[in-house]
Amino acid sequence: NLLKKKNDAKKNAKQWRTIHLFGKSRRPKESAVVVDQTDSSGYFRSNGGVTTKTILTEEKFPDNTIVTSKYTIWNFIPKNLFEQFGRIANFYFLCIAVVQLSLRNSPVSPVTSVAPLLFVVTITAIKQAYEDWLRHKSDNKVNNRSIEVIRDGVMKGVASRNIAVGDVVKVSNEQELPCDLVLLSSNNLLLRGARLRNTDFVFGIAVYTGIDTKVALNQQQKKHKFSSVEKALNKFLAIFMVLLVVQVVLCGVASIIWQKLELPSYIGLTRATEASGVINIFLSFLVLFNYIIPISLYVTIELQKFFGAMFIGWDVKMYDSNTDEVAKANTSDLNEELGQVEYLFSDKTGTLTQNDMQFRECSIYGKRYKEIDGKLQLLLDQSFESSESPSDQMQQFLIALAVCHTVKTEYNASIDQILYQASSPDEKALVEAASRFGVCFRDCVDNTLEILVNNKLQRYKILHILDFDSDRKRMSVIVKNPSGNIVMICKGAESSVLNRAKDGASSITNNDVNYYARHGLRTLVIAFRRFSAADYELIDKKLNEAKTAIGDRDAKLASAYDFVERNLTIIGATAVEDKLQECVSETLEALREAGIKVWVLTGDKQETAVNISNSCGHFGNGMEIMTVNANNNVECSSLLQHVKVKMDGSAGGSRFALVIDGMSLSFALSSCKDLLLSVTKHCEAVLCCRMSPLQKAKIVRMVKENGQNPTTLAIGDGANDCSMIQEAHVGVGIMGKEGRQATQCSDYAIAKFKFLKRLLLVHGHWYYIRIATLVQYFFYKNAAFITPEFYFAFFSGFSAQSMYDSIFLMFFNLAFTSLPILIFGVFEQDFSERYLLQNPSLYKILAKNKYMTMREFARWVLLGYWHSLVFFFGVYFLFAGQEGVLVANGKTFDLWCFGTMIYTMTVIVTNLKLALQTEHWTWVNHFAIWISIIGYYLFTLFYCGIYWPSFRNGSSDLYWIFLKLIAAPAVWFKTFLLIVVSLLPDFILRVYSTEKIKAMNLMLEKAARTRIMGDRLSENTSINRTTRKRNYASGDQRNPLISAENGLLDINDSQHSYV
């Protein structure tokens, strides 16, 4: 039968395509022209009396290879080099290297620029090659999967990459679809990436492969996100570029003036005064001073971020044993941004809650029922009346639950039970509940639903399914029931269903929905509509026309759905519980104490969302909740203005929370965005209800672009959260039950919401401190290192003579000071993880990039200039400026002794400076710092102890110089003296910062004791318990601690740990 269908399809479409062409991955291309009908080639179409003939040409299809990697073995070198030299710093050093090679008499060897640049580019290329190799491995795993296809009438196994358009593909149960397929038995389109379930296997013809598949076409390119540290780094580089230009211009002009005045030239050399000579002078100083720009900064940052991202995945305290999931960093570029978050935007379902829906209660024609011990029992005056035999109304309600859904069944033979699979956990919970109460959905066969009602099989023929969408917030199914009547069952949000009703218990159902929502339950309203034969003929025509429309199909479908889904009769409502995730309250409280404003963006009903916000701690004790529900722009603006006036006139210390629904939000975003933003700035917590995915992204963008540039983080678990996750500065995905879309488009992925506390307060804090210190330390040490060359220009007749050997210039950043700062950037901890978790307010001290302000940068740079002054003039006055014999043979020190002495001081002091900055010492830190200093001495002894004629062009500048220095006792004593003098300000600042930390610790301990006493008084006293019970009994919505079972949620102090 399969081959017969295939041959029939070939015959019917022979005039415009063949299976052979498809198998060769070729696609026909059509062009229509007016032709003579006597021509028998091609095929003809008539439209408005004009006959056209389609001429066919072949166009190649893409293969089915999936590529997420950036490079191939052939384009890696040119493409990677192009990307690397797209960076301003790398391009700058490339230009410097070219300048050095072009100078007639370069002050230093060109190797000093070429070698570091080559090293940086090579290390970066190796890192990027490794990351791309991992992507290649992932791609190959997908592309080399064995897929069964029919070719030449034989079933063959081929790699997924080799599937061609036109192949008949067999997909087995639980197997992922390798491409977009048309199901042979029904012509349904099966999309790549979906997983086959509820059937042993299917056959389909491949119609779209590779980049033509729907999933590939709908993939958005993730836009690159820049961290605040990276932006500050660019400013610092610009400042140092200006300093470099100033130094070059100053020394260049001074050199020209020196020559014009015919002052004695340095060591008897004369310099050209023509234009080429003047240019040569400026370029020589540019080459000499260019080392003030840290060439190895970028590669060190990349390595630090690379290892930091690995540590997130290695953190066993963010491992979830239930799902066997570890935290994952999809990017390493934003590690430090985790320590800068000011606004958190969170989804509710599946993020704050478990997305594990359990049916709890329902309302049927104005009567409330509750599930108790697996039975649906009537609730009357707080007592329960058994309902063993369901009434006709209850049966109608349960049948509606068993019919109106898109659930699939799967029979498990091992337990002799039907299992339900659904894309929506709410639907699954409702179908399971109906099954428990005697109305069991068995299967869907040939578009017919088989329902077992009190052990009697009933069949409902599906005529149309009106799928759920976020705009309508409802779905409907039109069926022909066993009696032959045509009925539409509709379910959806109360705001989208009740206003379309003409009959039924609308008012009572609305009250019941509000009651359930106040108890934190998720609600749906159930309704139906009967159609006469004439009515159905009309709507069937409208729906079919809309579904088959070529253009503007979505708008036509929306219009048709709106026409059909009206004049409803309300049956009742359902109430489903979604339990909170563990430690949500503690996490939100810690984030609030850390200074992070939390916004919950949800599609749920307002009352449900408010109750959840109360119970999970989103709305804290003492917060005054302001509500905005408007029906038009004017009313929305008026309400927001009223809220703002009340906030502005409140007493100091008042705490506010805002609740706003989706409709009001639409009005605010279109007419009074600034007013809304002004109101939310005064709020510690904001709850936005009935939100669409697009509105979520708009809210994030509004806050992100409010002029103060706050750092935002969005977290969610479903596809509807992807837009806000990508919009925020940092996106975090929850590995939940709604697929992997959120985690795939996010920057970081965690298994549970509670891990966000550790991700921000611990990892975010550490990463920011590390990178902020790393960046500014590089500028400090380069200022301390190269500024003595600027001072020396005044003593050398502005001759551009270097006092450092070329090898020293090259190895300072690459070898002698590189390892300690990298280790610092990977392992530094200013506070222990336990202390950070116990004191979330420490997170506040990092806000607004506080450790990378211009003031902090100036402090680091000024320390660098102080050290350079001590190095140069200390050595000058203590050694070179002193008349007398400093060594036993009666000789004084020369230029290279002077330069080597300053260089030695620079290596020692810059490493010791980093040691003073280190709070968390490990053996790795000790090894890095001391091996760098000792390694410098050993290398210099080796380098100065050998004559290098080939490398040094016959010169012996440093031959035996270092041995002469270390042989003089005065050198050791005065080196120690200058180290103490240079580091004296650092010691003072260190003592001052230690005292500040002690004072802060005392303040935190006092705050912790106050918090404990406050918690005990407000949470656990019997007086407050009585008050909360009284509030609940009177229907007061302010009660934050009521569970869905009408009980109080107790708070146990033993679950908290304080300083």
Q: Which residues belong to the active site?
A: 347
CB 997 within 8 A of CB 989: no
Locate 162 and state its tokens: 């080799």
| DSSP H or E run through 821 | helix 818-827
How are beta strands 201-208 and 168-172 bridged, if at all? antiparallel
CB 836 within 8 A of CB 1059: no
Closest C-alpha to 176, from 155, 161, 158, 190: 190
Query: Side by side, which strands form the sheet with 43-47?
Result: 26-34, 50-60, 43-47
Locate 711 and state its tokens: 């750092």
Closest C-alpha to 753, from 713, 722, 719, 720: 713
Locate 60 and state its tokens: 């190649």
In eight-state DSSP terms, residue 658 is E
Number of Cβ within a 10 Å radius of residue 277: 14
| CB neighbour list of residue 938: distance below 8 Å, 6 or more residues apart | none
Number of Cβ within a 10 Å radius of residue 185: 11
Number of Cβ within a 10 Å radius of residue 414: 5
**What does the alpha-carbon distance between residue 196 and residue 190 come to, in Å, rounded to a whole number?**
9
Q: Which residues pair with 604 in a beta bridge?
A: none
CB 572 within 8 A of CB 362: yes
**What does the alpha-carbon distance between residue 515 and residue 523 come to, in Å, rounded to a whole number?**
10
**What does the alpha-carbon distance between residue 27 and residue 21 come to, in Å, rounded to a whole number?**
7
Closest C-alpha to 676, from 692, 699, 653: 699
SS3 345: strand
CB-neighbour burial class of residue 1017 (10 A; exposed 0-12, middle 13-18, buried 19+): exposed
Radius of gyration from C-alpha coordinates of the chain: 37
CB 593 within 8 A of CB 840: yes
CB 718 within 8 A of CB 736: yes
How many residues comprise the chain?
1059
Locate 512 and state its tokens: 């019941």
**What does the alpha-carbon distance between residue 662 and residue 606 come to, in Å, rounded to a whole number?**
9
**What does the alpha-carbon distance between residue 759 and residue 227 come to, in Å, rounded to a whole number?**
16
Phi/psi region, residue 690 (left: phi>0; alpha: psi -120 to 50; beta: rest), is: left
**What does the alpha-carbon distance between residue 812 and residue 792 come to, in Å, rounded to a whole number?**
19
Locate 88 and state its tokens: 């301003």
Locate 148 and state its tokens: 């069964």
In eight-state DSSP terms, residue 801 is -
Number of Cβ within a 10 Å radius of residue 632: 12
| CB neighbour list of residue 988: distance below 8 Å, 6 or more residues apart | none
What is the signed CA dihedral for 914, 916, 917, 918, rounded to 10 degrees? 90
* CA angle, 479 then 481 then 484, to 5°: 110
| CB neighbour list of residue 426: distance below 8 Å, 6 or more residues apart | 357, 522, 524, 576
Residue showing tokens 């050198």: 971
Identity of the amino acid at 382? Q
How are beta strands 180-183 and 201-208 bridged, if at all? antiparallel
